[in-house]
Amino acid sequence: DAKTTQPPSMDCAEGRAANLPCNHSTISGNEYVYWYRQIHSQGPQYIIHGLKNNETNEMASLIITEDRKSSTLILPHATLRDTAVYYCIVRVFLSRSGGSNYKLTFGKGTLLTVNP
């Protein structure tokens, strides 16, 4: 499985952009990068995913380097409610079942604290 490396913690001021880095130097050509977050005691929440192009949705933007060895999640205007643990994940297919069945391997993630 491709391994991801994230800083254990980051701080961000409310209203400013939060840029969360992730290294995934062993990623394979067909593996997607997913970002989830987990607010204390809740289930992980999907944020965004990408393969090689930059992606944007209503929650965040995902910037993937050209060599695909790293990515950055950008929360453009962080709020206090964005305080959470953010996980960068490389999706691994569960090949026995075929189709698009896969597992997500969550590491320790980055604790983002948004300060007033």
Partner 1 sequence: DAGITQSPRHKVTETGTPVTLRCHQTENHRYMYWYRQDPGHGLRLIHYSYGVKDTDKGEVSDGYSVSRSKTEDFLLTLESATSSQTSVYFCAISEPSGGWETQYFGPGTRLLVL
Q: How far is the CB of 50 from partner 1 (least distance, A)?
A: 10
Q: Kindly tell me which of 26 and 115 has the beta carbon lying closer to partner 1.
A: 26
| Identity at 66, one-letter amino acid code | E
Half-sphere exposure of 9 (CA within 13 A, CB side): 3
Q: How far is the CB of 33 from partner 1 (least distance, A)?
A: 12
Q: Kindly tell me which of 14 and 23 has the beta carbon lying closer to partner 1.
A: 23
Distance CA 39, CA 105 (A): 18
Residues engaged in binding partner 1 (CB under 8 A): 32, 34, 41-46, 49, 87, 94, 96-97, 99-109
Structure tokens at 42: 């809740």
Q: How far is the CB of 23 from partner 1 (least distance, A)?
A: 17
Residue 15, Cβ density class (10 Å: 0-12 exposed, 13-18 middle, ≥19 buried): exposed
